[in-house]
Structure 1
Amino acid sequence: MRLDKFICDCTGLTRSQAGKVIRQKLVTMNGELVKQAALQVKDSDVVSLDGEQLQLIGLRYFMLHKPDGYICSTEDPEHPTVFTLMDEPLIERLHTVGRLDLDTTGLVLITDDGQWSHRISSPKHHVAKTYRVWTADPIPTAAIAQFSEGVMLRNEKNTTLPAQLEIVRETEALLTIHEGRYHQVKRMFAAIGNKVERLHREKVGGLQLPDDLAEGEYRALNQQQLELLRS
């Protein structure tokens, strides 16, 4: 890898900024001052910027328990973003895998791996997402069959994919969907004449939001959890 690209990948500097710090004689490799941006960096080389050793950051995968009132974007003039809850280097490279609404809580996946993100969020892959739903009115048992057959949402041309509804209490249910249309869960209940009062995502694919991950907390995904998402 070229030296300037290595610096960019380690620090978040642009290519021109990396070239500038090299010209300013702030970069050493294996203890020796380097002046060429095109110099190749090998795995065994030690590169330092202004006396601080640089290390490449690999692809990162996190899960976060989103609280109410936070948005799933990098910045917003009115509301805090989920990234304000994280303390990670080069946080500007991270993005959420899909989005939860401002008032929806629960499991959010965050990564800097675009291909992985696409596999999970792309509609054509039909990754299951399970939500706990609280409604304004009692949920009729007929809704189980309605959702399993697919419902027509307002301003849509096609019905939703079959979804699995489990009624927990009169006004509480678990709903598993296999696509990600705009405000889909809320619109599905609206289609049967009910209103979602509260919404919480509990599961994506085979990955369940851990009971010991409190609201506002996050942690890196381990290999076992990554496998649950791949399956």
Structure 2
Amino acid sequence: MRLVKLLANLGYGSRKEMQQAIRHGWVTDRKGNQLKADAKTDHKDILFDDEPLDPAQGVVILMNKPLGYVCSTKDQGRLVYDLLPDRFRMRKPVLSTIGRLDKETSGALLFTDDGTFLHQVISPKSNVPKVYEVTLDRPMNGSEAALFASGEMMLENEQKPLKPAELDVIDETHARLTLHEGRYHQVRRMFAATGNHVTDLARSRIGTLTLEGVDEGQWKILSEDDKALIFS
């Protein structure tokens, strides 16, 4: 891929702007040599304004999403993309969230520009577990674990029962819930069906991938070993 197109696809600017950046000497190799538009330098050896390039297509990002942010590129208010470098919004292919967390849910959120990887994570065949830390308005009644694990629970206005889910009761108003699917507001609706209300919700794990080392509002690019944890 030509250098101008590569830089534009990574969101650093338009092709015209990248042509100007190259002419001004802002694009170099690691030895400080200025690169030309037709340079055939390895991605890892290219610097833009003395900084290594962002990862090529196929990047996967883990964010520790704070409360109050929306998983959208167009909605009003605070967006999860506001927590990433501005150029990430301009990447081609687009950088998409893998599933969503609503505005009032925090925790582990994945992004990728790899459509195959995205569908692999969300596919029912992958059966990727997602773990949520739940705080409730009222004490649980004691029947929730059996109901959630039954595989027979129906949510309002749906025609298919939920897959079995595992509930680990921490105390009377705190629990850890593991889901193997991702329906609209599923955790909140499950507890609402038992007569309770979720007051705080955070996703703590996807597969065996945790948020260790990623503070609230921060993000990291996943290594191949990190990505493997999603499916383990």
State the TM-score, normalized to the length of structure 1.
0.78
Deviation at 1:230, TM superposition (A): 3.3
State the distance in 2 between where 1:32 and 1:217 align.
Answer: 32
Residue deviations 1:91-131, cap 9 Å, x none?
A: 33322111001000111112222211111123343211000
User: Residue 82 of structure 1 is aligned with which of 71, 80, 83?
Assistant: 80
Partner of 1:186: 188
CA distance, structure 2, for counterparts of residue 48 and residue 209 of structure 1:
29
AA of the residue aligned to 2:73: T
Report the Cα distance in structure 1 between the residues aligned to 2:144 and 2:117, rounded to whole angstroms.
34
The alignment partner of 1:100 has SS state of coil
What is the count of residue pairs matched by the alignment?
Answer: 219
Distance 2:97 2:35 in 1: 40
Q: Distance in 1 between matches of 2:51 and 2:206?
A: 38
Query: Matched residues in 1 for 2:146 and 2:114: separation?
Result: 38
Identity of aligned residues (%): 37
> Conserved in 2, the CA contact under 8 Å of 1:74 and 1:95?
no
- Aligned-pair CA distance for 1:6: 4.1
Equivalent positions of 1:135-154 (< 5 A) are 135-150=136-151, 151-154=153-156
**Residues 155 and 85 (structure 1), Cα distance of their counterparts in 2 relative to 1, 3 Å cut:** same
Q: Secondary structure at the match of 2:196?
A: coil
Q: Deviations over 1:34-85 (max 9, x none)?
A: 7xxxx8x745799999x999968413221111111001112322x2111111
CA contact (8 A) 1:128 1:178 kept: yes
Provide the residue aligned with 1:67 in structure 2.
66
Q: Tell me the distance in 1 between the aligned counterparts of 2:51 and 2:175.
A: 52
Paired residue secondary structure (2:104): coil
Displacement after TM superposition at 1:4 (Å): 6.5
Could you say if the C-alpha distance between residues 26 and 160 of structure 1 is closer, same or farther in structure 2, counting changes exceeding 3 Å? same
Taking a change above 3 Å as real, the CA distance of residues 180 and 42 of structure 1, as seen in their structure-2 partners, is same
Partner of 1:165: 167
Q: CA deviation at 1:7?
A: 5.4
What are structure 1's unaligned runs of at least 5 residues? Answer: none
**3-state SS of the aligned residue for 1:123?**
coil
Flag the 1:113–1:88 CA change in 2: closer, same or farther, 3 A.
Answer: farther
Match of 1:9 in 2: 9
Aligned to 1:119: 120
Q: 1:21 to 1:218 in 2, by over 3 A?
A: closer
CA distance in 2, matches of 1:162, 1:117: 23
The one-letter amino acid of 1:136's match is D
- 2:29 match: none
What TM-score, normalized by structure 2, do the two folds share? 0.78
Structure 1 residues 113 and 142 mapped into 2: Cα distance closer, same or farther (>3 Å)?
same
Aligned 8 A contact 1:148 1:164 in 2:
yes
